[in-house]
Amino acid sequence: MSKIAIISPYAPPEKGAVVLRLESFRKFFEQKGFEVEILSPERKGVPSANGIIRYRNLYGLFRAIKNGKPDLVIGTSPPMTDSFFAMLLAKITGKPFVLDIRDPWTESIVGLGIYKKNSFKIKVYRAIERISYRFADRIFVVTGHIKESMQNKGVKKEKLVLVENGTEKEIFRFSEKEREKMRKQLGLNGVTGIYAGSFASRELDEMLLSVAPLIRKTGMKLMLVIPYSEEKEGYLNMKRIIKKENLEKNIIFADSSQKGIPFNELYKYFSAADFGIVTLNNSLEYCIPVKTYDYVSCGLKVIAKGPENGALRDIFQEKDLGIYSDNWKDFGNSAEKIVKMKNIRGKTSKISEADFGRNLQNEKAFMEIKKLLKN
């Protein structure tokens, strides 16, 4: 039995897109007969979980990999620091190394304004990226935009494999029964939109302001399925906007950072809604938020605001997902078009396993890993 070690900045019971992706990998690879260990940093307040090895520092990471004796190592990015050192150990011990990239690391943190373009840290991080790209045996990317961008930067084409995120259709499905139940429970008596995902404070603020006139005009409801903490400034600012715009009766907070909604129950909230909302910072041209796939799998039309060009716009043009906008004014108009539709649920997008199935993507990753292990 071959053994795989996956190095990840986050792991169960933590949540997020990276955890969903690596857990999907682990489940699929184990079904194929592999043994899988996930290695992740210790974090205060995060309990241990089965199959997860927590390490305190880089020495602990080295020891965990060395003692575990994996046949292949997968590093995830961003960030790429721990994966970089895992790659060095894999190379020293003669094991294949796969780099799984969700976002191009330095491009994303510069685009989001976290670091300045020519800061010392960015120069160091770029050096780590270049070395990792050169010595990785395979590089998995989640969008064609990332793949093309990396080829333009000189990464060998044969190393790059498109392994999209996709969705788990057995989990994200429409349920008429749960729709009726959740709408009654949450008091949803009209057209309802849903935003699910991380707390992107600036994007959420802009989104609320763009649809506020429509909410007041039509009485539509907006469900926010986001992790939040009531003492955080981002949440408080959002509450101020809601109060100022007189939206208190129309905005429903369906999640909290203390409890959260179990992943396998999200479909209930998606079923209760009539359309989904995706917002993306204009600098993130390479990104397709995972919730895009999940919304459509639950039969939701989607309205999105994102970069003028990029991966998200491309997928809206290729598939019948809904309405895409690259500015907030047009986004507000898109929301109005959706709300005015008769029988919105009857005009939903239809997708197949071949379109967005996560397991088909896992199969791509598995086949590449088999090739590396044979060599």
Question: Tens-of-pLDDT digits for all 375 residues of the chain?
Answer: 799 999 999 988 887 788 889 999 999 999 999 999 999 999 888 887 888 999 999 999 999 998 999 999 999 998 999 999 999 999 999 999 999 999 888 888 787 777 788 888 889 989 999 999 999 999 999 999 999 989 988 899 999 999 999 888 888 989 999 999 999 999 998 899 999 987 556 788 999 999 999 999 999 999 998 876 655 777 788 889 999 999 999 999 886 544 567 888 899 999 999 999 999 988 889 999 989 999 998 989 899 999 999 999 999 988 888 899 999 999 999 999 988 887 777 555 566 566 778 888 999 999 999 999 987
User: Counting Cβ atoms within 10 Å, is residue 148 exposed (0-12), middle (13-18) or buried (19+)?
Assistant: middle
272 and 329 in a common domain = yes
pLDDT recorded at residue 203: 85
The verdict on residue 314 lying in a domain is: yes
Name the residue with tokens 């707390």: 199
In terms of Cβ atoms closer than 10 Å to its own Cβ (0-12, 13-18, 19+), residue 75 is buried
Torsion of CA 100, 257, 185, 204, to 10 degrees: -70
Question: What pLDDT sits at residue 309?
Answer: 92
The dihedrals phi and psi of 41, each to the nearest 5 degrees, come to -65, 150
Residue 348's Cβ-count burial label (10 Å; 0-12, 13-18, 19+) is buried
Is 12 a domain residue?
Answer: yes
Same domain, 317 and 221: yes
- Burial (CB count within 10 angstroms: exposed 0-12, middle 13-18, buried 19+), residue 125: buried
Q: The domain spanning residue 12 has which CATH number?
A: 3.40.50.2000
Please give the DSSP secondary-structure letter assigned to residue 286: T
From its phi and psi, is residue 136 left (phi > 0), alpha (psi between -120 and 50) or beta? beta
Same domain membership, residue 363 and residue 347: no
Question: Rounded to whole angstroms, how far apart are CA atoms 99 and 220?
Answer: 44
Q: 296 and 182 in one domain?
A: yes
Bridge partners (DSSP) listed for residue 97:
73
Strand partners for 27:
none
Same domain, 345 and 366: no
Co-location of 98 and 184 in the same domain: no
Report pLDDT for 350.
Answer: 62
What does the pLDDT read at residue 199? 58
Pairing of strands 275-279, 251-253: unpaired
Strands, E, within the chain: which ranges?
A: 3-7, 35-41, 52-55, 72-77, 97-101, 138-141, 160-162, 192-196, 221-225, 251-253, 275-279, 301-305, 322-325
- Per the structure, the complete domain to which residue 317 belongs is given by 176-356
Q: Quick one: 348 and 362 in the same domain? A: no
Does 100 map to a domain? yes
Q: Exposed e or buried b for every residue in 181-199, given b needs 16+ CB within 10 A?
A: ebbeeeebeebbbbbbbeb
Whole-angstrom Cα distance, residue 161 to residue 139? Answer: 6
Eight-class DSSP state of 159: G
Per DSSP, the three-state class of 10 is coil
- Residues 6+ positions from 155 with CB-CB distance below 8 Å: 133, 139
CA 371 to chain centre: 27
Residue 272 forms part of a structural domain: yes
Centre a 10 Å sphere on the Cβ of residue 46 and count the other Cβ atoms it contains: 16
pLDDT at 202: 74
Q: How many domains does the chain have?
A: 2
Do 98 and 188 fall within a single domain?
A: no
171 within some domain:
no
Say if residue 94 is in the same domain as residue 206: no
DSSP state of 219: -
Coil vs helix vs strand at 242: helix
Q: What is the pLDDT of residue 342?
A: 74
Same domain, 29 and 138: yes
The answer to whether residues 212 and 240 belong to one domain is yes
Which residues are CB-neighbours of 48 under 8 A, at least 6 positions away? 54
**pLDDT at res. 257:** 47
Domain identity same for 151 and 227? no
> Does residue 37 sit within a domain?
yes
Residue with tokens 């241990």: 48
